[in-house]
Chains A and B, each alone.
Chain A
């Protein structure tokens, strides 16, 4: 499964339930993000856990953070454990870790240097 445009990509990893996001994600609407994240959301119903690697996402706008939070809400509903991976070298990712883990204590977010 792959969703790709010029600025970003959403790719399935080699293991089931692993997702790798890359590039600049500054999409214009919640609908655009819903399309981009659709394969991730679909996987929530099929697996007990998934992981999303954000470390190569240079920018994610607030619509994207909203969309990511929506993924976590669906995961909570489906009782699917979510692990997020980020990079300390990318400022928004460090901020996101604090915001999301405060609101979704059930997720694991690991920030690597």
Chain B
């Protein structure tokens, strides 16, 4: 029997989104043409910005965060031909940005170490340590600089041996607009 595991903070939205966009991505497309990561992030951000007053700022912040998630899916998908799903949901006071993909076991292990620490308001210390250790900064940077809540769910491997990870970044709407 498969059991969903939650890593870090993974708050659920209290209501249906006011606005949302969801896209399927094929990681091999991103690996072969890296600029597609940015294209997807920019497109999704552009789609969402009419829901914000500070549109230019919201576009920049949403694209920055979504680009990190899409790049993650490109780098850490176990099977680059297996589709990943990216979404942005505007719930009013908060915005959820998410990528769901079949991740490598190594990446899942990295998330198991990182996300619980980030959930305990230690983003600055994590950022500093990862900088010194020359490890990836992306998620720690989002938590530190954007006050993001970063968490994931992990659906363990089925008979096919693949692990599905849903990585979620939650931002306040105020942060998206830098109010």
Kindly state whether residue A103 has any CB partner on chain B within 8 Å: yes
Interface of B is mostly: helix
A90-B60, A98-B145, A103-B128 known; A62 and B38 CB under 8 Å? no
B18-26, B133-141, B156-164: which lies at the interface: B133-141
Kindly state whether residue B178 has any CB partner on chain A within 8 Å: yes
Taking residues whose C-beta sits less than 8 angstroms from the other chain, chain A's interface range is: 20 to 34
The reply to whether A102 and B64 form a contact with Cβ atoms under 8 Å apart is no
Taking residues whose C-beta sits less than 8 angstroms from the other chain, chain B's interface range is: 20 to 34
Tell me the minimal C-beta distance from A4 to chain B in angstroms.
15
Interface of A is mostly: helix
A-facing residues in B9-53 (Cβ within 8 Å): 34-35, 37-38
Query: A52 to B167, alpha carbons, bound, how many Å?
Result: 34
The reply to whether B136 and A66 form a contact with Cβ atoms under 8 Å apart is yes
The reply to whether B145 and A62 form a contact with Cβ atoms under 8 Å apart is no
A61-B71, A62-B136, A62-B137 known; A91 and B57 CB under 8 Å? yes
The reply to whether A92 and B38 form a contact with Cβ atoms under 8 Å apart is no
Tell me the minimal C-beta distance from B52 to chain A in angstroms.
13
A72-101 vs B: 1/0 string, CB under 8 Å? 000000000000000001111011101100
A62-B136, A62-B137 known; A95 and B68 CB under 8 Å? no
Residue among A62, A91, A103 making CB contact with B61, cutoff 8 Å? A91
Report the nearest B residue to A30, measured CB to CB.
Answer: B134
Query: A94 to B61, alpha carbons, bound, how many Å?
Result: 12
Kindly state whether residue A112 has any CB partner on chain B within 8 Å: no
Chain B contact residues, CB within 8 Å of chain A: 34-35, 37-38, 56-57, 60-61, 63-64, 67-68, 71, 124, 127-128, 131, 134, 136-138, 141, 144-146, 178
Chain A contact residues, CB within 8 Å of chain B: 7, 24, 26-28, 58-59, 61-63, 65-66, 69-70, 89-92, 94-96, 98-99, 102-103
30 cross-chain CB contacts under 8 A:
A7-B35, A26-B34, A26-B35, A26-B38, A27-B34, A28-B34, A28-B71, A58-B60, A59-B38, A59-B63, A59-B67, A61-B67, A62-B137, A62-B141, A63-B71, A65-B141, A66-B134, A66-B136, A70-B134, A91-B57, A91-B60, A91-B61, A92-B60, A92-B145, A94-B178, A96-B145, A102-B124, A103-B127, A103-B128, A103-B131
